[in-house]
Chain A
Amino acid sequence: MTIRPPKPLILLGLVLGFLVIRNYLNSKSAELVSLAYPSGWLLFGSFLLLALYGMRKKFPFLPLGTTSSWLQLHLGVGLLSGYLFLLHTGSVWPQGRFEVALYFIYLVLMVSGFIGWFLMRWLPKAMRTDVENLHPSRIPSRLREIWEEGDALVLKVEEGALSERIIMGYTEVIRPFLNASPGFVQSKRHSELEVPTPIVHKLAEYLPPSVLFSTESSRPFHGLIREKADLDRMVVYQRWIRGWLFLHVPLTAVLFILIVLHTILVLGFSSGGA
Chain B
Amino acid sequence: MLDEINNQEADSREHCFSKAPVPEEILDWLKVNSVLSIVLSDYKKRGSSFEEILQNDARIVSYNKSEIILRKGDYGGSVLIPIEGKVRVNLEQSQEHRFARKKKLEKRSWLSAIGQLFKKKKTQEAFSRVVTQDEISGSSGLKPFIDTDVDQFIANNLTRTIGIGEIFGEIAALRRCPRTASVFASSACKLVEIRWQGVRELLARSKEFERFLEDIIGDRRHQIFSFVKMIQHLSEDVQRTISSKAVFERHGSDKWNRNFRKMLNSDQSLLEQESVVLNQGHHMDGLYVVLNGFARVTRKDGGEESTTGYLRPGDVYGLKELTRENRQGEDGVAFHTIRAVGALDLVIIPKSDFNEHVFPEIEKGIETGRSNEEGFISRDLLDFFLDRRIVNGNQTMIIDLNRCTDCDDCVKACAVTHEGNPRFIREGHRHAELMVATACMHCADPVCLVGCPTGAIHRESNTGNVIITATECIGCGTCVESCPYNNIRSVEIHDAYGKPIIDLETGKPALKATKCDLCIDQPSGPACANACPHDALHRVDFSDISKVTRVIEKITG
Say whether B326 faces chain A, with CB atoms less than 8 Å apart.
no
Q: Can you list 15 A-B contacts with CB-CB less than 8 angstroms, sorted by A residue number?
A: A2-B557, A57-B533, A60-B409, A61-B519, A62-B113, A67-B409, A67-B532, A67-B533, A68-B534, A120-B534, A121-B403, A124-B402, A124-B403, A124-B405, A125-B433
Interface centre among B430, B528, B531 (most CB of A within 10 A): B531
B-facing mask of A231-254, CB < 8 A → 1, else 0?
A: 000000010010000000000000
B-facing mask of A161-186, CB < 8 A → 1, else 0?
A: 00000000000000000000000000
B-facing mask of A58-90, CB < 8 A → 1, else 0?
A: 111111101110110000000000000000000
Please name all residues of chain A whose beta carbon is closer than 8 Å to the beta carbon of B433 when the two chains form the complex: 125, 128
Contact status of A2 and B402, CB under 8 A, knowing A60-B524, A67-B409: yes
Query: Nearest Cβ in chain B — how far from A62, in angstroms?
Result: 6
Cα–Cα distance between A57 and B531 once the two chains are bound (Å) = 7
Cα–Cα distance between A57 and B430 once the two chains are bound (Å) = 27
Cα–Cα distance between A66 and B400 once the two chains are bound (Å) = 16
B residues 388-425 near A (Cβ < 8 Å) are 400-407, 409, 412-413, 416-417
| Nearest A-chain residue to B417, judged by Cβ | A61
Pairs A-B, 7 closest by C-beta atoms: A60-B413, A60-B531, A68-B535, A60-B527, A61-B522, A63-B524, A2-B402
Query: Nearest Cβ in chain B — how far from A233, in angstroms?
Result: 15
Contact B416–A61 (Cβ < 8 Å) = yes
Please name all residues of chain B whose beta carbon is closer than 8 Å to the beta carbon of A59 when the two chains form the complex: 113-114, 117
Please name all residues of chain B whose beta carbon is closer than 8 Å to the beta carbon of A68 when the two chains form the complex: 532-535
Please name all residues of chain A whose beta carbon is closer than 8 Å to the beta carbon of B525 when the two chains form the complex: 63
Cα–Cα distance between A64 and B525 once the two chains are bound (Å) = 11
Query: Nearest Cβ in chain A — how far from B306, in angstroms?
Result: 24
Contact B405–A120 (Cβ < 8 Å) = yes
B residues 411-458 near A (Cβ < 8 Å) are 412-413, 416-417, 427, 430, 433
Q: Count A-side interface residues using an 8 Å CB cutoff.
A: 27
Please name all residues of chain A whose beta carbon is closer than 8 Å to the beta carbon of B527 when the two chains form the complex: 60-61
Please name all residues of chain B whose beta carbon is closer than 8 Å to the beta carbon of A124 when the two chains form the complex: 401-405, 534, 536
Query: Nearest Cβ in chain B — how far from A20, in angstroms?
Result: 27
A residues 119-167 near B (Cβ < 8 Å) are 120-121, 123-125, 128, 132-133, 135-136
Say whether A188 faces chain B, with CB atoms less than 8 Å apart.
no
Query: Nearest Cβ in chain A — how far from B557, in angstroms?
Result: 7
Say whether B529 faces chain A, with CB atoms less than 8 Å apart.
yes
| Nearest B-chain residue to A63, judged by Cβ | B524
Cα–Cα distance between A64 and B416 once the two chains are bound (Å) = 17
Query: Nearest Cβ in chain A — how far from B357, in angstroms?
Result: 44
| Nearest B-chain residue to A7, judged by Cβ | B535
Interface centre among A61, A64, A238 (most CB of B within 10 A): A61
Selected from B413, B430, B532, B533, the residue in CB contact (under 8 A) with A61 is: B413
Please name all residues of chain B whose beta carbon is closer than 8 Å to the beta carbon of A63 when the two chains form the complex: 523-525, 530
Contact B417–A60 (Cβ < 8 Å) = yes
Please name all residues of chain A whose beta carbon is closer than 8 Å to the beta carbon of B536 when the two chains form the complex: 124
Query: Nearest Cβ in chain A — how far from B400, in angstroms?
Result: 8
A-facing mask of B186-210, CB < 8 A → 1, else 0?
A: 0000000000000000000000000
B residues 474-529 near A (Cβ < 8 Å) are 519, 522-525, 527-529
Contact A67–B402 (Cβ < 8 Å) = no
Cα–Cα distance between A165 and B557 once the two chains are bound (Å) = 51
Interface centre among B412, B530, B534, B554 (most CB of A within 10 A): B530
Please name all residues of chain B whose beta carbon is closer than 8 Å to the beta carbon of A121 when the two chains form the complex: 403
Cα–Cα distance between A212 and B557 once the two chains are bound (Å) = 43
